[in-house]
Structure formats: structure tokens, C-alpha cells
Chain A
Amino acid sequence: MRTSRAVSVALLAALATASVAACSSDSTESSSTGGSETVAACEPSGEDVVNLSFTSWIPGIEDAVAKWNEQNPDIQVAVQTGPNGNSGTYQNFFNQLKAGNAPDLGQIEYDALASFRVQGGLQNIGGCDVVQEAQPEFIDWTWDQVSFGEEGNAYAIPQDTGPMALFYRADLFEEAGIAVPVTWDEYAEAAEKIDAEGGKITNFSTADINQFAGFAWQNGASWFEADDEGWTVNITGAETEEVGAYWQDLIERDLVASYPAWTDEWNNAYNSSEVWTWVSAVWGANTIQDGAPDTAGNWAVAPMPQWDSAAPASGNWGGSSIAVFTGTDYPYEAAKFATWLNTSEESLTILADTANIYPATLDGINLPTLQSGVDFYGGQVIWDVFAQAANQVPANFTWGPTMTDTYASISDGFKQVVTGNSTVSEALTAGEESTVSTMNSQSIPVKE
């Protein structure tokens, strides 16, 4: 007995050392290839049939991919869908990149692009002729997001944007004789009147920090800046603090609800007419339709309330791109598919119909499917409001390289705010501190 135990221990030890050695040699290899910074040559692979893998969470994207596969027998794309980015797909991407088995293409929102780039996960497809040809078709600020403002580089192809507007219960506003607010001041006044009617003007989400960023974006804030020397973090700038103080006031006066967003309770608050408005992005049109079916026909869309009605601006919440991951053997074919997916009328029509994807192309606004009224919104052609908003989004907003952590720490702070244990301003300060220390731990240079 004793000898056999000794044998097995020795065996284990041998196996273990061998595998540790294997691990370490593996990782040096992957870290040296990770993050190609120069524009790589982008040539067709020359193979007869190229098979690409693609991960996304957009409902109905399978239909667009099926259309592509039908038309391109030599480049076949297999699509896999999962939960949306921050709910798990990004974590999967990071894990797959570390393990060296990432798909060829992936759906990535603009706010997460920098995070993937600093991890060396994005292939620079700026050298592909298909990409260069497509660039002029996109709205300028979306191209800035995928090129990080660098001439000739492209780390993804923009798919859609999330211009924000005010979704509101037209019927309730009319019955109560409250004017639809045009400025944020009027919005706060309306909040008081709605509170007197026994409702709440909106729900303050502690989970959607990108929505709050959209509010700050509208007010001209930029949370990050990157140049050759490093990053500047400015989550507590005057523009953001102004927005923060505004919501702090509404929360303190108990004029907004604070249901945990994206839960049945939250849906119920809208469906039961307790909450009257939602300042959200174009894709939110789907969310209300699904979550509050009993209120069909009673909603309408107006432009986002303004800080300065003389200089109208709009925020942006979400919007995503299709990136090609490093490690793909077929950058050219992948870029070709991504470009088709996000520029061709047939693909954009499918995506607009099934997922209320609002195209990032200049021409996308003219898609026939975006010209018709929507029954849920009393037949209003809601797209017109978003088309106007899309043109009013300030171009200079930059996302940071560790947004997962930034969102998590601000969200933790906001959770304290709605229970009355903290303030929005304190949450933003804590978020900035956490962001800087996480960037330091990742050796990402931060300028003071």
C-alpha cells in the first residue's frame, strides 16, 4: 500500500510539473503575438471555402447571416448567439482570447472596444480594401469609435448607434394636463406634478451606467481621453457633476422610482402605468413593447429634454460594432463579411425589423423600413425623432479601457444612492478612483 501511494504521488508530481511548464511556455507565446499594433496586410486567404465563426446577441442576426451564406458559398459564416455583452458574452470573449480559441468575429459595443484593444484582442483591419472603401459610408463619430481617431486604422466595423430620446405615456400626460417637457428643468417640474398624480416620472437605474453616461454625453462630457502619452480619466468633470446633481435632487425628493432595472418588477412598474417616461435609446422601443404590453398605443417619443434649448444635443446609449479577433486566419474574409453585414440594405433591413437596430451608416436613415409608423407608439413614425437625435450626438465622447470595472464600481455606488446612503457625486468619485487603480494594475498609463 505504502509503495503504491509513493508511486502515485511521484506520478502526480511529474504530471504537474510537466503541465506547469507547458502552461508557461504557452503564455509567453500568446503574449508576444497578442495586440498587433501595425496595420497588417489584408489579403484573401486563397482557400476555396473559408469557414468563419461569429458570436453575437442581436435577435434575428441569424437571418442576416443566412442571407450572406446563401450569396457567398465560398465564405460560410456560423453564428452563435449568447447573452448581451456585459451579461456574459464579453467575459466569454476575454476567456476565449486568453485560451486562444476566440471566434473569428464578435459583437462588441463601442464602450467595450478599448477594453478589448488593450487586451490585444482586436485585429486591425484598416488595411483591408473593403474596409477602406466602406469608411465614407459611416457617420463620423461612429468611425472615430472604431478607429480610436487614428488615421488608417480600424478595429471594428460600426453596426448601429443608440441615439437617445424621451419615451413617454402620451395618454397620461394629456389626461393630467401636463406639457411634454422640452428642457430638463421642465422635466423636473413635470416630475413633481406626476408625483402628485400618484405616479413617478421615471425609474433611476442603478444598473445602466451607460445610460447615465449618455446623459453626461448629451451635456458635453467626455469621461476619457487617450493620446500617445496615456489616458486621462475625467468621470467627475463639471458636465457630469451637473447631470449627477440633477438626478441626486430628483432621488432625494423621491420623485423617481428605483426598481432594479431589467427585472419583472421594473417591467411591472411600466406595465401598470406607475412610471410614465423613460429616457432611452432607439432600441429601447423594443424593450417597452415587450415589457409593458398592456400599454400598447399609449406611448409616444419626443426629443430628449435639453440643458440649453438654444443648442439642442442628444446623448447616445449603446450601439455596437463587429470586430475581428486576433488569432483569426482569415482577416480579409472576416472584414468582408462584417462590412456587408453593416452596410448592405438587405442586412440592415433585417436587423432593423427584428431588433430595432438603428444603422450607423449615413444612408441607413433612409431605409424603407424606418419610414413607417409603429402601432405601439400610436402610429408615430418614431424613427424621425431618432434621426434628428443621431445628428445631435456630440462627437467627442471617448470610452475607457476598463469599462467593466468602471461600470461595476459606479453601479455599486448608485445602489447606495437609491437607499439614501451615498450621493451620485460620491459614487462618481469612487468610480473614478477605482478606474484609475484598475488601470494602474493593468499597467495602462494614466496621466494625472
Chain B
Amino acid sequence: MSSSIPMNRTRKRQGFLAVFILPFGLLFTLFYILPILYAMWQSTRVVERDGTFGAAREVFGGLTQYQNVFSNTEFWESIGRVLMFGAVQVPVMLGLALLLALLLDSPLVKGRRFFRLAYFAPYAVPGVIAAIMWGFLFSPNLSPFDWVMTNVDFMSPTLVLWAIAIVVTWVYTGYNMIIIYSSLLAIPQDIFEAARLDGAGQVRIAWSIKIPLVVPSLVLTTIFSIIGTLQLLTEPQVFKTFSTAVNSTYTPNLAVYAASSIPDYSLAAAMSVVLAVATFILSFSVLKFTQRKAD
């Protein structure tokens, strides 16, 4: 008798929990888990047909599509390209974001609210619009800075990747800054007081207290940025029309898009799965690496 009362209570609580989880669980399953499982299933299919215009039949093909992905040089070139992009762009962007966040947090800055909004504003511009706008700025004939653009061709094969990096940095620096800035705000004030009593100046406080304490949010933004880099689509897609240097398989997601417009959905699905796994491994390694360092 005495044990049945808590049992009932737990069951009741579980019932409540289920009700609260249901809306999320349902949407998460429908729009996240199921598409992933569907893509995995699609990636095991191959097409068979008889004759010149024979009807296509999808049959089980095992890992055939994965073989195709691994022997697809354009796909791996595109992965190499975004890794190079990420190795340069992510540190630059996060460095800028950290610097801006520290400036906003320092007592020396006036008009904090205005700058916070101003830095964040580019993130509110839709990606396509941002890319088109920068495309105009980079164009030697249409740019208001034509004296720069006629001397430095940002749309050339050597520079276009970095032109895209400029757009991405412009859009996402403010977003990352907000994440870092909010973790700066969460640092208890008494630590700073103690530091000031010990005679630390603003630079010293930033370097020895603030930065070490926002490392977790730097790790978070790094992982977000790695995922974003591997999934670059909008900017290169828009630049493809402006520049002869961006081809149809310039980034992994463009290659997926090109495969699905053949339409070869199975190959596109296999590419997506490989890309997802690569992203996961990379993000997880960064996480493990930084955690070990922290220990």
C-alpha cells in the first residue's frame, strides 16, 4: 500500500511529460528523423530499365551509390574546397566576433545598444539578398567601388572563394558575436571586482578572465560554423551566375543539388549521407579535442 502512492505519482508525472514532449517529438520525427531515414533508404536504391525508353524501376543496390560517391572526384574536390574555406574563414570570423563582443562588454564603449543591433543586422538580411548585393559590389562594371574592382577581380578563379568568405563573414559575425556576448554577460561581476582590486586593467581582464570563461561558447560557435561551412549553398549558388569560376559542383551541397536535378535522387541521397557523416565526425572531433584541452 505504502509504495503504491509514489508509483502512481511517477506514472502521472510521466503522463504529463509525454504530453509536453509530444508536439516536439511529433514535429521532430516528421521533419527531421523521417527525412534522414528516407535519405538513407533512398541511397541504397539503383535504377534498372529495359530498352531505350524503358520504364525505370528502383531496386535495392546495396552500397553501389556509396561506391559512386567515393569515386566521384568532383565531390571530394568540393569537400576539400570548403575545408580550406573553413580553415581560414571560421577563425577570422570568430576572432572578429570575439573582439566585437569584448568591445561591447567593456565599460569604455558608449552606445552599446546601437552597436549590438548594428553588428547583428546583417544576419537579418536573407542569404540570397546578401549574396546578390555583394555580387554587385564585386562586379567590375557595376560596383560603386569600380576603381578597386577593376584592379582586383573578386570573381576570378583564385579569389572567388574568398569573395564568398567575405559575404559569409559579413552575415554571420554578428550572430556569433551575440552568442559570445551573452555568455560574457553571464560572468558574475564579483570576479571583475576582485581582478580590479588586484590591479588588472581592461585588457588584462579581457585576456585572463573573459576569454577563458567564454571558451564554451567559442566551442559552440566553432561547431555551428563548421556545420555551416560544409553546408554552404546559397552564396555559391548565387555567385554561380555572376562568376565563371563557380561551377555546378563547387561545394558539396551544390554537387548534391546537381545530382538531384539529373534527376539521380539515389546518388544525391548517398552524397548527403556521406556529407552528414563527415560533418558529424568533424564536429565531434573538435568537441573532443577542446574538451581534452580543457581537462
Residues of A within 8 A of B (CB): 3-4, 7-8, 11-12, 15-16, 19-20, 23-24, 27, 31-32, 34-37, 90-91, 94-95, 98, 117-120, 148, 206-207, 226-231, 258, 260, 262-265, 268-269, 402, 404-405, 408-409, 411-412, 415, 418-419, 421, 438, 441-445
Is there an interface contact between B263 and A262, defined as CB atoms closer than 8 Å? no
CB-CB under 8 A for A227 and B243, given A7-B18, A402-B262: no
Is there an interface contact between B14 and A4, defined as CB atoms closer than 8 Å? yes
Partner of B47, one of A12, A412, A443: A443
CB-CB under 8 A for A117 and B244, given A23-B41, A91-B261, A404-B262: no
Chain A residues lying within 8 Å of B248, measured Cβ to Cβ, are: 408-409, 411-412
Partner of A31, one of B17, B18, B57: B57
Is there an interface contact between B52 and A443, defined as CB atoms closer than 8 Å? no
CA distance A227 to B98 in the complex (A): 65
Partner of B29, one of A16, A32, A228, A230: A16
- B219-247 residues with Cβ-Cβ distance < 8 A to A are 241-247
Partner of A226, one of B47, B52, B246, B265: B52
Supply 14 further A-B pairs (C-beta < 8 A) apart from A20-B41, A268-B142, A404-B262. Answer: A4-B14, A7-B18, A31-B55, A35-B53, A37-B55, A91-B263, A118-B53, A148-B53, A228-B52, A402-B262, A404-B263, A411-B247, A419-B244, A443-B46
CA distance A27 to B34 in the complex (A): 16
Chain B residues lying within 8 Å of A118, measured Cβ to Cβ, are: 49, 53, 56
Q: B176 near A: Cβ within 8 Å?
A: no
Is there an interface contact between A27 and B25, defined as CB atoms closer than 8 Å? no
Is there an interface contact between A263 and B262, defined as CB atoms closer than 8 Å? no
Chain A residues lying within 8 Å of B157, measured Cβ to Cβ, are: 419, 421
Residues of B within 8 A of A (CB): 14, 17-18, 21, 25, 29, 33-34, 37-38, 41, 46-49, 51-58, 68, 136, 139, 141-142, 156-157, 241-249, 258, 260-265, 267
B57 to A, closest residue via Cβ: A31
18 residue pairs from A and B, CB less than 8 Å apart: A4-B18, A12-B29, A16-B37, A31-B57, A91-B260, A94-B263, A118-B56, A148-B53, A226-B53, A231-B52, A258-B244, A264-B136, A405-B258, A405-B262, A411-B247, A411-B248, A442-B56, A442-B262
* B83: min CB distance to chain A, Å: 21
Question: Would you list the 8 A-B pairs with minimal beta carbon distance, nearest first?
Answer: A35-B55, A412-B247, A415-B244, A94-B263, A408-B248, A443-B49, A31-B57, A91-B261
Partner of B142, one of A4, A258, A265, A402: A265
CA distance A408 to B258 in the complex (A): 8
Partner of A443, one of B18, B29, B48: B48
Is there an interface contact between A265 and B18, defined as CB atoms closer than 8 Å? no
Is there an interface contact between B247 and A415, defined as CB atoms closer than 8 Å? yes
CA distance A231 to B51 in the complex (A): 10
CA distance A227 to B51 in the complex (A): 9
CB-CB under 8 A for A35 and B54, given A20-B37, A265-B139, A415-B245: yes
Is there an interface contact between A229 and B52, defined as CB atoms closer than 8 Å? yes
CA distance A85 to B146 in the complex (A): 34
Chain B residues lying within 8 Å of A8, measured Cβ to Cβ, are: 18, 21, 25
Is there an interface contact between A438 and B264, defined as CB atoms closer than 8 Å? yes
CB-CB under 8 A for A445 and B51, given A12-B33, A31-B57: yes
Partner of A16, one of B17, B33, B243: B33
Is there an interface contact between B260 and A19, defined as CB atoms closer than 8 Å? no
CA distance A442 to B47 in the complex (A): 6
Is there an interface contact between B52 and A98, defined as CB atoms closer than 8 Å? no
Chain A residues lying within 8 Å of B55, measured Cβ to Cβ, are: 31, 34-37, 120
Partner of A34, one of B18, B56, B139: B56
Chain A residues lying within 8 Å of B41, measured Cβ to Cβ, are: 20, 23-24
Chain B residues lying within 8 Å of A24, measured Cβ to Cβ, are: 41
Chain B residues lying within 8 Å of A207, measured Cβ to Cβ, are: 241
* A371: min CB distance to chain B, Å: 37
CA distance A8 to B26 in the complex (A): 11
Is there an interface contact between A260 and B53, defined as CB atoms closer than 8 Å? no
